[in-house]
Chains A and B, each alone.
Chain A
């Protein structure tokens, strides 16, 4: 079951705050849940550990994933999401700073839906967030059964 919130997996608090501001400015008023590392994100998605109380709660509408994360990095998070029947068709957008061709190639191979580089310029960043919101939260028709 898919809910309405956005899960942002991001270890840099500045980037998390900027993303929150960008969603605000883009006029997207979904709840933004921030996971600080890969382990926390997976606990949240699979309702384990500190998030065991989420058992039966709906999955986020979309996951925004940074690649360079402490403990379990973004590629491993993606692998875990695609490797579990419950989260296999969850939309995952890599939203990261790097545009290394190697990263792009590797994450598409792991089944990411989209790869977007965060622009440095704030107005451009707001524009990018607006488009992500429009595409994944409005236009895109999610799969009903997880």
Chain B
């Protein structure tokens, strides 16, 4: 038995591997225990169709067919027990999904957590922004009214800038919370157009900056247009910001569709990051660059990863310090308009 097989067999979570047609390829001991079955008899057929309620079984089949993931839904067994179920396409292995089943937490404490999260979102959206507006507004007023001596104007400038940063932070937190919870639409999305759009916005915000941004045309993904634009926006924003050391911003967006997946690569020629800290890139508030190097609020890539994962996809980055970075994004592919497929 290989190391990985051993790890799979002994894992505490109930795990199974599924093929795209629904067939179960393997199941571990913990899953057998949760389901009250011998894990050795589960592989071979589409076992989920007899183990779970109909809605859940259909959802699994639909996700397999569409190449998507399922993130922590409640599944019911005919005998009435409830489990938490997720399904993820295995990265790097074609047409194989990992199904995970955990005993359901107490429904009441989950509802409470959901309500707290809702209150938190609302608090940031409303109650935190209101005092920030007072700070920004009255500081601007003092500044414009000339009520403050020259010596104090630099301090006013700092107050105004801090209020703006705090607002961006509040917006970032809201995006992170919403990216995790808001229902996603699923449509064919013109990825190339979204990248061109984001590129236009970056240039508009900094019109004097010399930039060359190249986007491979006719790339299509299956997903939520608003959130995918947010995802691409954060990746492009980083590429732009961390190119500050160059005379010219150079960004290249490439993509390729195969086997139902769209693989995107965003290359920049910026300052790069230290690969030793690559695992911190996507953790909220973990920054690899100080603000003088263009570092932001430490939420952009966390939001980007949340969106990629909600789409059943993935994002990762590689870099060489001083030479630039490449961020890879894997998403479910879609046919273009009028069913014109990109991988002709």
Chain A contact residues, CB within 8 Å of chain B: 12, 14-15, 18, 21, 68, 96-101, 118-123, 125
In the complex, chain B residues 78-134 whose Cβ is within 8 Å of any chain A Cβ: 121-122, 125-126, 129-134
B160 to chain A, nearest CB (A): 8
B138 to chain A, nearest CB (A): 7
Q: Does B136 contact A (CB under 8 A)?
A: yes
A120/B129 in contact, CB under 8 A: yes
A15-B134, A125-B133 known; A120+B167 contact, CB < 8 A: yes
Q: Tell me the nearest residue of chain B to A100, going by C-beta.
A: B125
Q: Besides A18-B133, A68-B126, A120-B167, 16 other CB < 8 A contacts?
A: A15-B130, A15-B133, A18-B134, A18-B137, A97-B126, A97-B129, A98-B122, A101-B182, A118-B133, A119-B133, A120-B133, A120-B163, A120-B164, A122-B136, A122-B139, A125-B137
Partner of A122, one of B126, B130, B137: B137
Q: Does B140 contact A (CB under 8 A)?
A: yes
A32 to chain B, nearest CB (A): 16
Partner of B140, one of A12, A68, A99, A123: A123
Partner of B141, one of A21, A99, A119: A21
Majority secondary structure, B binding face: helix
B46 to chain A, nearest CB (A): 37
Report how many residues on chain B are interfacial, defined by Cβ distance under 8 Å.
Answer: 20
Q: Which residues does chain A contribute within 8 Å of B132, judged by CB atoms?
A: 120
B137/A100 in contact, CB under 8 A: no
B134/A14 in contact, CB under 8 A: yes
In the complex, chain B residues 129-164 whose Cβ is within 8 Å of any chain A Cβ: 129-134, 136-141, 163-164
Q: Which residues does chain B contribute within 8 Å of A122, judged by CB atoms?
A: 133, 136-137, 139-141
In the complex, A145 Cα to B76 Cα: how many Å? 59
A14/B138 in contact, CB under 8 A: yes
In the complex, A21 Cα to B121 Cα: how many Å? 29
Indicate the member of A18, A68, A122 with the most B CB atoms within 10 Å: A122
B145 to chain A, nearest CB (A): 10
A14/B126 in contact, CB under 8 A: no
In the complex, A123 Cα to B140 Cα: how many Å? 8
In the complex, A118 Cα to B139 Cα: how many Å? 17
